[in-house]
Amino acid sequence: MSIVVVGSVVLDSIKTPHGEVTDVLGGSASFFSIAASLFTDVRLVGVVGGDFPHSDMDFLRGKRIDLTGLEVVPEGKTFRWKGEYSQNMNHRTSLCTELNVFAEFSPKLPEIYKSSPVAFLGNIDPELQLNVLDQVLSPRFTACDTMNFWISGKKDLLQQVLRRVNLFFINDSEAIELTDEPNVFKACQKLLEWGPTTVVIKRGEYGSFVMRQDMVYLLPAYPLEWVQDPTGAGDTYAAGFLGYLDRVGKVDNDSLRRAAIFGTIVASFTCEGFGLDSIGHTTRAQIQSRAKEFVNMLKVPGGLSGLRL
């Protein structure tokens, strides 16, 4: 099994109330790849400049990540982003975004990638997402993410993408903005009408939920007492989710519920360090152990029969 991921590879400079880092490996493709590699083989499609650190390249290569699709533009500079989080971590301000080589990014899937059963289109221009969908050979399962920038700028193209993917990851506020519905559950139903059979709503520290025509699955977040840096939480949530689905090789309602649990757990590790510091060194045993602890915090004693009045 394997997952193709298309997205950005970025050198992030991040400031949170707990510290500050400069030019650390980030971007949707990096976060997704590193986290998904805990579950399955990953094939990365992205672009970096000649200045991309050898250490970061080695770090990616040391995981189960195929880098054949990572284009290097020797004369170009790698995408750079600089951001700062508010005191309570609920808001972040982008201080600087230099697209550099990413401005001309045109994803090209190596032949060997095209047969991957799962494809994840990270948060990039919907035009590029469509381009990738044209290249994959009837994958079993496609998923995409997006952000407010594309919702306001390229809504029509984004809707075209949604008609062609199976699963859509989106934040609650973005789902409301995209659909013009005041309520997130109504927004979700509209998104299901637009195409994907599964919509996954991410709500940050409050958790997530999965909606299909015949299922709603509600999940709180793992209770972290300390968050160092939430950058990449959304991408790694998607990675745990899709990584698990690819690993078990099926997409039924039960697998989707478990996938949301693993997405949640993976994202919780991400938040405990700057950039990839934490999730980049997390083991599958740690994921498994925290998932067990988490499920105990969700248990309804006695199930339905325990609730008779």
How many residues bind its own copies (CB under 8 A)? The answer is: 50
Q: Quick check: 86 binds its own copies (CB under 8 A)?
A: no
Q: Quick check: 261 binds its own copies (CB under 8 A)?
A: yes
Minimum distance of its own copies from residue 259's CB (angstroms): 11
Q: Quick check: 114 binds its own copies (CB under 8 A)?
A: no
Q: Quick check: 137 binds its own copies (CB under 8 A)?
A: no
- Among residues 166 and 189, whose Cβ is nearest to its own copies? 189
Of 52-60, 64-72, 121-129, 214-222: span binding its own copies (CB under 8 A): 214-222
Count CB atoms within 10 A of the CB of residue 70. Answer: 22
Buried/exposed code over 199-211 (b: 16+ C-beta within 10 A; e: otherwise): bbbbebbeebbbb
CA 33 to CA 37: how far, in whole Å? 6
Q: From the list 61, 218, 250, 286, which residue makes contact with its own copies (rule: CB under 8 A)?
A: 218
Token code pair at residue 275: 């950039």
Long-range contacts: 133-142, Cβ < 8 Å, 24+? 133/161, 133/164, 133/165, 135/107, 135/108, 135/109, 136/4, 136/109, 139/4, 140/251, 141/117, 141/166, 141/167, 141/242, 141/245, 141/246, 141/251, 142/118, 142/166, 142/167
Q: For 218, phi and psi rounded to 5 degrees? A: -105, 135
- Among residues 74 and 306, whose Cβ is nearest to its own copies? 306
Minimum distance of its own copies from residue 203's CB (angstroms): 7
- Among residues 54 and 308, whose Cβ is nearest to its own copies? 308
Three-state secondary-structure class, residue 221: coil
Of 4-12, 103-111, 155-163, 215-223: span binding its own copies (CB under 8 A): 215-223
Q: Which residues here bind its own copies, judged by CB under 8 A?
A: 17, 39, 87-88, 182-183, 185-186, 189, 203, 206-207, 209, 216-220, 223-227, 244, 247, 253-254, 257-258, 261-262, 284, 287-288, 291-292, 295-304, 306-309
